Amino acid sequence: MSLSAEHPLVDGRTTRSPLVRALRGDRPERTPVWFMRQAGRSLPEYRELRVSTKMLDACLDPALASEITLQPVRRHGVDAAVFFSDIVVPVLLAGVGVEIVPGRGPVIDEPIRTASDVLKLRPIEPSALDPIREAVKLTVAELGETPLIGFAGAPFTLASYLVEGGPSKDQGRARALMYSDPHAWATLLNWCADVSGEFLRAQVESGASAVQLFDSWVGSLSRRDYQRRVAPHSERAFSHLRGIADADDRTVPKIHFGLGGGEFLDVMRDIGADAIGVDWRIPLDEANRRLGGTTPLQGNIDSALLGAPWSTLRSHVDEVVDRGLAAPAHVVNLGHGVPPETDPDVLTRIVRVVHGEE
């Protein structure tokens, strides 16, 4: 299936953008930069909008989600917008009871604990994603030449929330299910892959110029378990984008980010990713070595340093940019998300440094 003639990758708006070029392995004249979780918590304009609106309600209000997505682009001058939503939105739209509790995160009404629980899950209806499609279209219409990144949660992370019932330090219940009932585990991850895959597809078809698959809890796994029991399902999530291409038969660039996944970066790439996001735990030149010097990288400023003295942070940013030169191409980002207490002016200043303006 070809992208529509109005898609930014087809009509040329974002084709030559620094972000898209970097993700496709080119090294643009200006190193692109964006920040995970740039839309939201750290911005006062975001907090004003969210005063009387619950998180998931905001995600499903197309005009509000679009405005929040655009805010960091206006403020920071980043090279991409990332769609404002949450990884549990497709879970909610598929009929699972979930609420995002302030200070805690997603909480599942009825956690999945048995094979019979897994069998109660239903596929996501295409019409349920209409608010997502509308929000993406509204956003892309305002972004012009700045690309929009769509995103989704990887199957392991979604399954962890569903089984644990909420955030967990070590995903013990989820990993126990993985071993005790491999068939139920595989069925659950396939369901997660399909709802996330459809979520990604809706964003791409509506105008996203790249996507990122987030695996926030994958660091609790061994390389062997990731390779055997998780990676095939992440590949399935990406497979929902198979065949979607521009007029030159180029697919939408896919980024794969796994927090704590440094021991299996190659496996994460080989499921179909075009670029790999790297957390703060290993330097980018080492990540490049582990990937054989063939893969564009994204990352990996340590979020903890955003509150450090500017001289310390500036040295760290310079080092990240320098180490990123080892890779075929580099998109500057954080090694995880923007902490809510971050001074937004610090992020703006980082963008200027990466762009060579300071």
**41 labeled part of a ligand binding site:** yes
**38 labeled part of a ligand binding site:** yes
**71 labeled part of a ligand binding site:** no
Tell me which residues are annotated as active site.
37, 41, 50, 86, 161
Three-state SS letters, 273-334: CCEEECCCCCCHHHHHHHCCCCCCEEEEECHHHHHCCHHHHHHHHHHHHHHHCCCCCEEEEE
DSSP code per residue over 116-147? HHHHT--PPPGGGGHHHHHHHHHHHHHHTTSP
**39 labeled part of a ligand binding site:** yes
**37 labeled part of a ligand binding site:** yes
289 CB-near residues (< 8 Å, 6+ apart) = 326
Place of tokens 């643009």: 28
Distance CA 256, CA 298 (A): 9
**336 labeled part of a ligand binding site:** yes
211 CB-near residues (< 8 Å, 6+ apart) = 149, 150, 151, 152, 200, 203, 204, 241, 252, 253, 254, 255
Burial of 23: CB neighbours in 10 Å, binned 0-12, 13-18, 19+: buried
Residues tagged in the binding site annotation for substrate? 37-41, 86, 161, 216, 336
Residues tagged in the binding site annotation? 37-41, 86, 161, 216, 336
